Amino acid sequence: MKKVMFVCKRNSCRSQMAEGFARTLGNGKIEVTSSGLEASRVHPGAIAAMDEIGIDIRSQTSDPLEQFHPQEYDAVISLCGCGVNLPESWVTRPIFADWELEDPDGKPAETFRRVRDEIKAKVETLIAEIAA
């Protein structure tokens, strides 16, 4: 089974939503982790946006990328344009993408919902590509 790392600046919003979608939609197809260039918290707005569609991400944790080993992952997805700040060992994994999605932190619930829906579409495509 392929292992996917979703990474963002603070592992608070976008990467947490991506992890939630990948765990749900990719259950039994991929393994998934998320992390950040720094750790913070799982954002209440991300929790609320995912709750609206029946995915509970409350038990997920915000973890720093440095706790993980790139060689253990097949795919690395940056959600914030932070790919340029990642160590080379992460961006040279077999699959690397930088989705560059808007940071919903500090913005209204509608922004969380829009970004959530953008993440869902991208995660669905990613699962279809790598789980085949």
Write out the H or E segment, with its range, that includes residue 123.
helix 109-130
Active site residue 80: yes
Active site residue 82: no
Quote the strand ranges of 16-93, DSSP E.
30-36, 75-78
Catalytic residue, candidates 4, 30, 65, 80: 80
Neighbours of 63 (CB within 10 A): 17
Locate tokens 């990328």: which residue? 65
Catalytic residue, candidates 4, 5, 7, 8: 8
The catalytic residues are 8, 80
